[in-house]
Amino acid sequence: MSRKHSRAKRQTRRQKSKRHKRDYLSDDNVVIDFHASPHSDPYSPSSSYNPQAASTPVKPIKARNRAQDIFMSAIRTHTLVFGLGPAGTGKSYCTAAMAAEAMLAGSIDRIIFTRPAVEAGNSMGFLPGGLEEKFDPYFSAFKSCLVSNAGRGVIECALKNGNISVEPLAYMRGKTFNRAFVVLDEAQNCTPEEMKMFMTRIGRNSTVVINGDLSQTDIRCYSGLHDAISRVHDVKGVYVHEFEYGDIVRSDIVRDIIMCYQDDDCAVREYRSG
């Protein structure tokens, strides 16, 4: 074997070794630094994150109606925001868009997603896999919204590095949210005790968004979401936003279906009161 050929083989092995060590690279070959200065511009060529290099197209963060615009503005300016309303109004989309915006701006260190372990059908115990695998079906919709606003490479890398985490609500006790964007989904299924525990985790420089639909409660006791709103709606830094049926953007048929069930619920309440 010639010296030239031997040197070429060693060079190839070194290059492969370097590729294996670079585990901070995402699938899109985008290098992300989530601890950059909050004042740095993530879109500048000198930044460690360059969206031009991402293979997943990033949609501009844009509200689809006035209700979404108000909700997103409230998230930018308040510490604790409640998003109430029926399915299809864009609560998750708007929340994910604001979380992605805060992450790319460097104003937070982590995005935390949580929800109560309450189901309308089979419980989580019947799902295969460990804790992360059990929670993945519930996180997937929110993850898709994050990807559409920040790019797949950024989100996959953040998940791998722990900058985005999915945690059960029951594991929140004793924790403090500092420099974090925290999302509590399906909050209508929380008990009052769970809501109190969760809201008292809020630390410094954090944004917390609590989303839910009071008409779809799957617990038999008094909803902790309703209890929390009645208690803290006047606290400084808290904003309660309520979407209406006319704000549904998913499709016209979804709005009509929800209205049919709303009429049925009213009839049931009238029958029971009579």
The side-by-side arrangement of strands in the sheet containing 110-114 is 164-166, 110-114, 180-184, 207-212, 80-84, 238-242
Q: Profile the chain (274 residues) by mean pLDDT over runs of 10 residues.
A: 57 55 38 42 40 49 90 97 94 94 95 81 55 71 90 93 91 93 95 96 97 87 94 97 92 85 55 44
The whole-number pLDDT of residue 250 equals 86
Identify the CATH number of the domain defined by range 59-273.
3.40.50.300
Q: Which residues of 192-212 are buried (b: 16+ CB within 10 A; e: fewer)?
A: bebbebbbebbeeebbbbbbb
- The shares of helix, strand and coil residues in the chain, as percent rounded to the nearest 5, are 50, 10, 40
Classify the C-alpha dihedral 143-147-150-152 as positive or negative.
positive
The whole-number pLDDT of residue 35 equals 47
**How many CB atoms are closer than 10 A to CB 111?**
26
Single-letter amino acid code for the residue at 50: N
CA-only gyration radius of the chain, Å: 22
Contacts of 15 (CB under 8 A, 6+ apart): none
The whole-number pLDDT of residue 137 equals 73
Domain limits of the chain?
A: 59-273
The whole-number pLDDT of residue 168 equals 87
The whole-number pLDDT of residue 179 equals 97
- Decide: residue 89, CB within 10 A, 0-12 exposed, 13-18 middle, 19+ buried: buried
